[in-house]
Amino acid sequence: MNRTNEQKAMRVSAVGIAFDILILTPLKLIAGIVGGSTAMLADAAHSLSDMLTTVIAMIGVKLANRKADKSHPYGHERFECVAAILVSIALAVTGIGIGWTGIRHIVSVDLSDGIDMGTPGLIALIAAAATIIVTEGMFWYKRRVAKSINSGALMADAWHHRADALSSVASFIGVFIARQGFPIFDPLAAIVICPLILKAALDIFRDALGKMTDKACDEATEQQMRDVIDAFDKVRGIDELKTRLFGDKIYVDVEISIDGEHTLHESHAVAQDVHDAIEATFSAVKHCMVHVNPHATNIAGTPISTAQLPPD
């Protein structure tokens, strides 16, 4: 990630924190206390966790943008993956906490005795509607920037806002039904929120883990790379193509075969052209290593790659 992209990530993260501190958390907290809504109090806790995860994402982006050094000669991009994993864990903890709050509120009331659980006030319904609009807007805003700069940590933070929006939808439904004379639906909404948040946390965790463990690119991207390489007339074949994700970057190792009569300088020139084309075409590629094999022929005169020949 270059300096410009880092600044974009910092700016969008700062906007997210400002919204959480100045608007969402106070609005939900007041609505939950004044309106007597368990779901809104749970939602307020979720907004507080949003601030934490945004800070984690900002730190991850900052560390990932550091230049390569002696202790990290391949760069620091995987710090974004670490940040995304931490965000997913925080998100999961938040989801479990919200679900537990709803369960505890229900089991603490003996409905058989006819104890009134309390009907949420209108302010809770208004707050839920307002936060749906704000948090969904923040999701699309952060998602757009995260895709444009290919930031896993920022994308994870964007999905945290989507989880917040979903929890607000559940809160709105729960509060609305509770106000129709079914107060148990307010804490039930908090329970419904739990699996939605856990699903988002799992998706973020799996994506970050894949980038931490040298997962290959998707097949479509690899096929596009093959098409770029095949466009060179002097390349007679692609013997092997391997890719691995390194944070938000891609490393490529490719073996090509060219006619064996080419000189070392000519072979090197072809390899350099392939290298430059891959890095120019795919902005996420941090480095492309190209190995050249001499093209050989079998007894019938059909060209074959030396990669297909048996060992001596």
Q: Are residues 195 and 245 in the same domain?
A: no
Residue ending a domain, among 169, 184, 212, is 212
Q: Are residues 39 and 99 in the same domain?
A: yes
Task: Give residue 292's domain range.
Answer: 219-308
Q: How far apart are CA 167 and CA 39, in angstroms?
A: 9
Q: Which among 60, 85, 56, 82 has a CA at the least distance from the CA of 202?
A: 85
Sign of the torsion angle spanned by Cα atoms 65, 70, 72, 73: positive
Cβ proximity of 240 and 254 under 8 Å:
yes
Q: Are residues 60 and 105 in the same domain?
A: yes
Residue ending a domain, among 173, 190, 212, is 212
pLDDT exceeds 80 at position 184:
no
Q: How far apart are CA 205 and CA 63, in angstroms?
A: 19
The residue count for the chain: 312
Q: How far apart are CA 157 and CA 143, in angstroms?
A: 9
Q: Are residues 127 and 258 in the same domain?
A: no
SS (H, E, C) the chain: CCHHHHHHHHHHHHHHHHHHHHHHHHHHHHHHHHCCCHHHHHHHHHHHHHHHHHHHHHHHHHHHCCCCCCCCCCCCCHHHHHHHHHHHHHHHHHHHHHHHHHHHHHHCCCHHHCCCCCCCCHHHHHHHHHHHHHHHHHHHHHHHHHHHHCCHHHHHHHHHHHHHHHHHHHHHHHHHHHCCCCCCHHHHHHHHHHHHHHHHHHHHHHHHHHHHCCCCCCHHHHHHHHHHHHCCCCCCEEEEEEEEEECCEEEEEEEEEEECCCCHHHHHHHHHHHHHHHHHHCCCEEEEEEEEEEEEECCCCCEEEHHHCCCC
pLDDT exceeds 60 at position 310:
no
Reported as a pLDDT band with limits 50, 70 and 90, residue 3 is low
Reported as a pLDDT band with limits 50, 70 and 90, residue 281 is very high
Q: What pLDDT sits at residue 212?
A: 80
Q: How far apart are CA 147 and CA 129, in angstroms?
A: 27
Q: Are residues 245 and 119 in the same domain?
A: no
CATH code at 31?
1.20.1510.10
Mean of pLDDT over the chain: 79
Q: Are residues 95 and 231 in the same domain?
A: no
Q: Are residues 239 and 175 in the same domain?
A: no
Q: What pLDDT sits at residue 1?
A: 56
CATH code at 275?
3.30.70.1350
The two tokens of residue 304 are 């074959």
Q: Residue holding tokens 């550091």?
A: 66
pLDDT exceeds 90 at position 74:
no
Share of the chain above pLDDT 70, in %: 87
Q: Are residues 208 and 156 in the same domain?
A: yes
pLDDT exceeds 70 at position 111:
no
Q: How far apart are CA 236 and CA 295, in angstroms?
A: 7
Total of domains in the chain: 2
Residue ending a domain, among 197, 212, 227, is 212
The two tokens of residue 207 are 């994506």
Reported as a pLDDT band with limits 50, 70 and 90, residue 56 is confident
The span from the first CA to the last CA of the chain, in angstroms, equals 45
Alpha carbon separation from 146 to 40, 96, 102, 140, 306 (Å, rounded)? 29, 27, 33, 10, 43
Q: Residue holding tokens 């907004």?
A: 47
Q: Are residues 56 and 92 in the same domain?
A: yes
pLDDT in tens, 119-173: 677 887 888 888 888 888 888 988 888 888 777 778 877 877 777 787 778 778 8
Q: How far apart are CA 174 and CA 177, in angstroms?
A: 5
Q: Are residues 97 and 142 in the same domain?
A: yes
Q: Are residues 87 and 189 in the same domain?
A: yes
Cβ proximity of 60 and 84 under 8 Å:
yes
Q: What pLDDT sits at residue 121?
A: 74
Q: Are residues 226 and 190 in the same domain?
A: no
pLDDT in tens, 209-235: 887 877 898 899 999 999 999 999 999
Share of the chain above pLDDT 90, in %: 19
